[in-house]
């Protein structure tokens, strides 16, 4: 069995989510081939998958929303990029269809969540399962103007799939497909927490804070960290490296490895960051984000399911991070922790049924 996973290059969160599910699938079916078709960097994918083998097909399947930085969107650049992708897709679809047919065995397509994958499914007659907490139809529709036509195009393609792994923190995905709803999709840590604590000379968990803004990052400099001399920060921001209370995330390690070592996380709205933090009972200091329709949905989900505080972008920049304030309790309660395993089991069933 060949699982061909087309993963959005819009952000690392798509790769982390699909990676968690495929790692759980590899536990169930270690002989199945995992093929990743994505524009995400190979070094990031190797960090996610560790020793589990995969094959990489470097392809760009979607645009998502072009971002000026981790907290801002660029609609004009997004529209240009969508038109450019549309011109390039026919050749890519033809090439990937030829390659898949040459493999000579059963194939299941998994999409997180590039709608163009439906065109590849149609080209080869392969079954297609979507995985996500939103589709690009729900992102483009509120952007209005020329994006309304793109939203309708995406929705029509999503509706041609055979099923949906419906993840938490979701926007409407009314695609008329059989689906399974799952909890937090998180891979298990691979590193020993105590070893990492000693390597980075970290104090007890209550004095450690993780700061990350995804693949694009967000430069804060050293000064905001110096406002909190009693705390130690693990950060992905090289501009903060000179602060004595900052430890840069070591290369080749996932943020996930540090969740058991920290009490709080400062971040933007992001699906996989939320999953990993909530699975380890890490409080989230969430920075408000404009121009991306998923952001308020994630913010509301955090209020319902996780300990939290909410920050403005100005508070972020000046270091007013409220780390001396108690975390606000979740309004509803925690989500199930077995999302990746549940998704992998259902994906296995679909693959065996369709192929």
Specify whether the CB–CB gap between 232 and 202 falls below 8 A.
Answer: yes
Is 324 part of a structural domain of the chain? no
- Residue 284 forms part of a structural domain: yes
Q: Please report whether residue 225 resides in a domain.
A: yes
Same domain, 94 and 199: no
What does the pLDDT average to over 326-332? Answer: 97
Residues 162, 200 share a domain: no
In-domain check, residue 39: yes
pLDDT band at 32 (very low <50, low <70, confident <90, very high): very high
Residues 202 and 175 in one domain: no
The domain total for the chain is 2
Summarised one tens digit per residue, pLDDT across range 195-235 is: 999 999 999 999 999 999 876 668 899 999 999 999 999 99
Judge if 123 and 198 occupy the same domain. no
Looking at the structure, tell me whether residues 160 and 224 fall in a common domain: no
| Residue 329 forms part of a structural domain | no
Q: Mean pLDDT for the chain?
A: 95
Judge if 347 and 278 occupy the same domain: no
- Token code pair at residue 42: 């190979």
pLDDT at 292 over 80: no
pLDDT in tens, 104-117: 999 999 999 999 99
pLDDT greater than 90 at residue 88: yes
Are residues 49 and 145 part of one domain? yes
pLDDT tens-place string over residues 141-181? 999 999 999 999 999 999 999 999 999 999 999 999 999 99
Supply the range of the domain harboring residue 216: 193-318
**Cβ count near 354 (within 10 Å):** 15
Give yes or no: residues 247 and 274 share one domain: yes
pTM, to two decimals: 0.95
Strand order in the sheet with 128-132: 55-58, 33-38, 2-7, 107-112, 128-132, 163-166, 179-181
Q: Are residues 161 and 213 in the same domain?
A: no
**The predicted structure's pLDDT at residue 68:** 67
Q: Is residue 330 part of a domain?
A: no
Please tell me the predicted confidence (pLDDT) of residue 186: 97
The pLDDT value given to residue 215: 62
Regarding whether 285 and 180 lie in a shared domain, the answer is no
Percentage of the chain lying above the pLDDT 90 cut: 90
Instruction: Answer yes or no: is 333 within a domain.
Output: no
Shared domain for 122 and 27, answered yes or no, is: yes
Give pLDDT, residue 302: 96
pLDDT of residue 246: 97
Query: In this model, does residue 291 exceed pLDDT 80?
Result: no
DSSP 125-185: T--EEEEES--HHHHHGGG-TTHHHHHHHHHHHHTTSSEEEE-SSPPP------EEE----
Mean pLDDT (whole number) for 93-112: 97
d(CA 102, CA 212): 42
In this structure, are 172 and 198 located in the same domain? no
Percent of the residues in the chain that have a pLDDT greater than 70, as a whole number: 98
> Rounded to the nearest 5 degrees, what angle is found at the Cα of 119, between the Cα atoms of 113 and 122?
120
Burial status of residue 288 (CB atoms within 10 A of its CB: 0-12, 13-18, 19 or more): middle
Here the CATH number for the domain that contains residue 8 is 3.40.50.2000
Measure the CA dihedral 191/197/198/199, to 10°: 70
* Residue 308, beta-bridge partner list: 284, 328
Residue 69 confidence class, pLDDT cut points 50, 70, 90? low
Is 325 part of any domain?
Answer: no
What is d(CA 160, CA 126) in angstroms, rounded to the nearest whole number? Answer: 11
């Amino acid at each position: 069995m060949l699982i061909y996973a087309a993963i959005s290059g819009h952000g690392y969160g798509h790769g982390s989510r699909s990676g968690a599910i495929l790692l759980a699938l590899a536990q169930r079916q270690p002989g199945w081939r995992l093929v990743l078709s994505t524009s995400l960097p190979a070094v990031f994918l190797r960090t996610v998958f560790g020793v589990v083998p995969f094959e990489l097909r470097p392809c760009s399947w979607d645009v998502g929303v072009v971002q000026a930085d981790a907290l801002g969107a660029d609609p004009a650049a997004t529209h240009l990029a969508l038109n450019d992708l549309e011109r390039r897709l026919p050749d890519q679809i033809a090439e990937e269809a030829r390659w898949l047919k040459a493999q000579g065995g059963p194939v299941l397509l998994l999409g997180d969540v590039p709608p163009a994958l439906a065109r590849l499914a149609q080209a080869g007659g392969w079954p297609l399962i979507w995985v996500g907490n939103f589709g690009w139809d729900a992102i483009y529709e509120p952007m209005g103007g020329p994006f309304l036509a793109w939203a309708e195009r995406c929705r029509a393609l999503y509706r041609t799939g055979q099923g949906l792994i419906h993840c938490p923190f979701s926007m409407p995905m009314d695609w008329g497909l059989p689906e399974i709803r799952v909890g937090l999709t998180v891979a298990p840590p691979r590193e020993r927490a105590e070893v990492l604590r000693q390597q980075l000379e970290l104090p007890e968990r209550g004095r450690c804070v993780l700061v990350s803004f995804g693949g694009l990052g967000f430069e804060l400099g050293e000064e905001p960290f110096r406002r909190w001399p009693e705390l130690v920060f693990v950060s992905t921001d090289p501009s903060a490296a000179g602060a004595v209370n900052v430890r840069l995330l070591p290369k080749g390690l996932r943020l996930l490895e540090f969740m058991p070592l920290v009490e709080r996380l400062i971040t933007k709205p992001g699906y996989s960051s939320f999953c990993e933090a909530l699975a380890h009972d890490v409080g989230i200091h969430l920075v408000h984000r404009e121009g991306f329709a998923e952001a308020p949905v994630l913010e509301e989900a955090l209020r319902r399911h996780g300990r939290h505080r909410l920050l403005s972008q100005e508070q972020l920049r000046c270091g007013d991070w409220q780390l001396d304030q108690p975390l606000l309790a979740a309004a509803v309660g925690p989500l199930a922790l077995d999302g990746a395993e549940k998704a992998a089991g259902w994906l296995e069933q679909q693959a065996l049924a369709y192929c």
